[in-house]
Amino acid sequence: MAKSGPRVILTQMFKLKRKALQYVIAFGIGSLLCLQTNGQATPDEILRIDTNLVNLFFTALDRDNRPISNLTRADLQVLEDGKAQEILLFQSETNRPLNLAILVDISGSQKTTLELEKSNISAFVDSVLQSHSDKVALISFAADPFLEQTLTSDLSESHQALERLKTIRGAIGYQGSGTIIPVGTKPAVGFLSYTSAIWDAIVESCRNVLKPASVDARRIIIIVTDGEDTSSRSSLQDAIEAALESDVMVYTIGVGDSSLASGVNRKTLERLSFETGGRFFSPKRSEDLSESFKKIAAELRSQYLVTYVPRNEFNGGVSYRRIRLSLNKAKQVENLRLVYRSGYYFKGQ
C-alpha cells in the first residue's frame, strides 16, 4: 500500500521475521516524517512498503456530533480481532487527497427533490475541493448506474455534469447523457413508476470509479437516495463488501418522496454507513439538507489517520478482520464518539 511522502521502495528479497519487518517499517515511516518536517517531501512522492499496512481513517465527534481535532496517538487503542495493535503512524486532521464519488438517485422517488439536491451538491463540491489533488466524480442511477463525470478537480466540469441530471418520469428509461457502467448480463427489474439500483451503483462506483484512483487518497462515496432498492443485481452486503475491499467510506443522505414509496429506509442506510465508516443523515427540511452537506464537509477536513501492521497470524487466503478503535480511560469521560469502518479484508502477502 502507498503512503504520501518520499519515494522509497522496500522490496522483500528474503523472508523477514515479523519483528524485523516491523523495525524496517517503523524506520521507513520515521524517515518519512523527518523529511516532511524538513520540507523536503513533495505531495506526489510515495513511501511503498511490500507488506500489509492498514490505514484507518476516522472521525471523533463530541456530544453534539461536532468534529474535534485534539486527539493524540496516546489517546487511542486499536484492536484487530481482539488483539492490540501498535500504531506506527498517526495524523491529526490529515490532508490526504480526497477522491469523492457523489451518487445521485434519479428514479421517480426523487422527482420533487432533485433540483434542491443539485444546488446543495454544487455548493458542497465548491467548499470541499481545496486543491488539484482533490477530485470528484458524479454517478447517477435508476435501473443502472451511469457515469456522468469521471474524477476531476475541475469545478466547472462537475457543475456542468450535475446540471444535466434529470429524474426519470413516468416510464422506465434513462434521460441523461452519462455513460452506462456495465453491471452484468442480468437485466434490472423494477416496480411502480420507477426503478432504483442503489447497491449496483455503489458496487460499480467502488470498483470502476474510485478504485483506479491514487492509493494515497481517501476514497469517499456520498449517496443521496431514499434507500429503497428495487432492482439491483447486487445486495446490500455486496455493496458493503465492495466498499471495504476498496477502502471506501460511504456517507448516506436519506431523501425520498413518501407519495411514491415508504419514505426513507433509515435502517438500511444506517447500516451501510456504519459498516464502512461514514455517517447517515436524515434531513427533514430543505435547510436540513444543506446542513447535512456542511457537516460532511467539516468531517472530511477533520479526519484522523492511524496506520498499523497487523500482529495477528496469517492463515492463508482472504479473511475478514474486525477493527475496534477506542479511547483510553482519561478520554472516555468526555463521551466522545469515534466513527470508523468496522473491519477490512486481509489478503496476505
Tell me the CATH number at 144. 3.40.50.410
The CA distance from 39 to 45, in Å, is 13
Banded model confidence at residue 175, pLDDT cuts 50, 70, 90: low
Residue 39 sits in the same domain as residue 22: yes
Least confident of 77-81, 154-158, 275-279, 317-321: 317-321
CA distance 312 to 321: 10
168 and 296 share a domain? yes
Predicted local confidence at residue 114, as pLDDT: 86
Question: Are 216 and 127 in a shared domain?
Answer: yes
Sheet (strand 304-308) strand order = 87-91, 304-308, 54-61, 337-339
Specify whether 170 is located in the same domain as 309.
Answer: no
Question: For the chain, how many structural domains are there in total?
Answer: 2
Q: What is the pLDDT of residue 50?
A: 38
Taking residue 228's Cβ as centre, other Cβ atoms within 10 Å add up to 21
Query: Tens digit of pLDDT for each residue in 64-114?
Result: 999 998 999 999 999 999 999 999 999 998 889 999 999 998 887 777 888
323 in the same domain as 282: no
Answer positive or negative: Cα dihedral of 208, 212, 215, 221.
Answer: negative
- How far is the C-alpha of 3 from the C-alpha of 162, rounded, in Å? 32
SS3 306: strand
Q: 330 vs 151, which has greater pLDDT? A: 151
pLDDT at 236 over 90: yes
- Regarding whether 106 and 42 lie in a shared domain, the answer is no
Tell me the pLDDT tens digit for each residue of 280-325. Answer: 999 988 889 999 999 999 999 999 999 999 998 877 777 899 999 9
Residues 212 and 150 in one domain: yes
Q: At what angle do helices 155-163 and 114-128 cross, to 10 degrees?
A: 170
Q: How confident is the model at residue 218 (pLDDT cuts 50, 70, 90)?
A: very high
Check the CA dihedral 343-346-306-102 and report its sign: negative
Question: Do residues 275 and 341 touch, judged by C-beta distance below 8 A?
Answer: yes
Given this model, what pLDDT does residue 176 score?
Answer: 60
| Residue predicted with more confidence, 264 or 214 | 264
Residues 120 and 252 occupy one common structural domain: yes
Same domain, 249 and 318: no
Q: What pLDDT band is residue 27 in, cutting at 50, 70 and 90? A: very low
Q: Which residue has the higher pLDDT, 234 or 4?
A: 234
- One domain, residues 144 and 287: yes
Residues 318 and 338 in one domain: yes
Task: Quote the cell numbers at residue 199.
Answer: 447497491
Per residue in 114-146, pLDDT tens?
889 999 999 999 999 988 889 999 999 888 888
Task: Decide which of 113 and 59 is more confident.
Answer: 59
Are 148 and 138 a contacting pair, CB within 8 Å?
A: yes
User: How high is the pLDDT of residue 57?
Assistant: 95
Contact of 104 with 224, CB cutoff 8 Å: yes
What percent of the chain lies above the pLDDT cut of 70? 76
Query: In terms of Cα–Cα distance, which of 81, 91, 75, 58 is closest to 344?
Result: 81
The reply to whether 17 and 110 lie within a common domain is no
Neighbouring C-alpha atoms within 13 Å toward the C-beta of 20: 5
Predicted pLDDT at 22: 45
> How much is the pLDDT for 189?
52
Q: Which domain holds residue 326?
A: 2-90+304-346
Of 339 and 215, more confident: 339
Whether pTM > 0.85 for this model: the answer is: no
Q: What is the mean pLDDT of residues 197-213?
A: 90
